[in-house]
Amino acid sequence: MVFKKTDVCELFGIEYPIVQAPMGPFITTKLCAAVSNAGGLGIISHTGTFLYLKERDPDFYKQVHDFAPKLVESTLAMEEDMGVNTLEELRKVSKLTDKPFGVNVRVAREQPDAPYLIDAIIEEREKDPKLTENLKVVVTSAGSPNLYTQRLKDAGLIVVHVVPSVYHAQKSEKAGVDAVVASGHEAGGHVAWDPVHTSVLTPAVRKIVKVPVLSAGGWCDGKGLVAALALGAGAIYMGTRFIATKESDFAPGYKEAVLGGTERDTIVTAGTFGPIRVLKNKYAATLQELLDSVTGSFQGKFENPKIEDAKTNISWADSYKRGKTENAPVLTGEVQGLIDNLPTVKELIDGIMKEAEEIITKKLPSFIA
């Protein structure tokens, strides 16, 4: 059986309806190339926020630093430690694949480098013929789709926006995006304030919008792909499952933490842009104790200095780069409870497609009398 291409496959020019989610602030360069080479769509993470802003607009960087010095200094130290640079990652991926790939730009108000990065991505793409051909998609997230969608589309890029609700999906479609990612509360990393889960969100979004829909949160295998397609999605959008692959850029200790976790071993706590799902560890427990002790904290309106200290006095590079996962954030989704192996990306994608085919052609027909 050869899978008929979905609307998402046709839009992106890919073979399989499988997309790798970006996982900023962590680098996904090797992973992105491997996913694209295996027939899916790889996406480069948005990295190097303050390194890039400091280089591009020193005066504005100083204003941001003066407004939130602890956040800026801790993030800058992490970025320097990891050696991150979104534009450099674009160039690296372009050398590693001839297939379509994408890049993420977080467009939240707390992301001061977003307009500069978008301009730089467009400039880089226009001067490099290979990037012009293969860098096809920009995924915007954590902010309004109204800000940059038209600018990106005018540059010939496909624009996808990540949404946590039907309301945001409608807003994104009105802004002119080419597709939306319906991201359920099961997902790792930043999640929405309202806990709408994937099995409800995906069909609800599909029912309302006319653009293609990708489904995120809780997917890792062929069963999940079949379920997502049945819910109305044109592709699955996976992060956690791709962390636990041989080509993944994450440290071995980080991969082991994902492999060792159950579906109950994550917690939603305070992140930079709002709630964030991370592995339950000493870092998460300390932060959660502070949240529980401060009346009225973390409701989308106000942050306490003690909480800000807990979020900034840690090294994200410890988990990602060095695999020290006890006292640092480990972004991972509930789906980690279903992950028990470390395949190559090609083995993973081929396995997902094979399992999905077997379910559709052999198991599902048996339910028809």
pLDDT digits (tens, 9 = 90+) for 310-335: 555 566 667 777 888 888 889 999 99
Tell me: the pLDDT tens digits for 293-307? Answer: 765 555 444 455 555
Domain boundaries defined on the chain: 7-250+339-362
pTM > 0.95: no
What's the CA gap between 70 and 49, in Å, rounded? Answer: 15
Classify residue 300 as exposed, middle or buried by CB count within 10 Å of its CB (0-12, 13-18, 19+): exposed
Q: Tokens 């809780």 identify what position? A: 218
- By the 8 A CB rule, do 235 and 9 touch? yes
249 vs 295, more confident: 249
The pLDDT of residue 35 is 99
Fold of 7-250+339-362: TIM Barrel (3.20.20)
Tell me: the pLDDT tens digits for 150-190? Answer: 999 999 999 999 999 999 999 999 999 999 999 999 999 99
> What residues are paired with 236 via a beta bridge?
18, 215
The pLDDT of residue 255 is 96
Q: Per-residue pLDDT averaged across 93-114, rounded?
A: 93
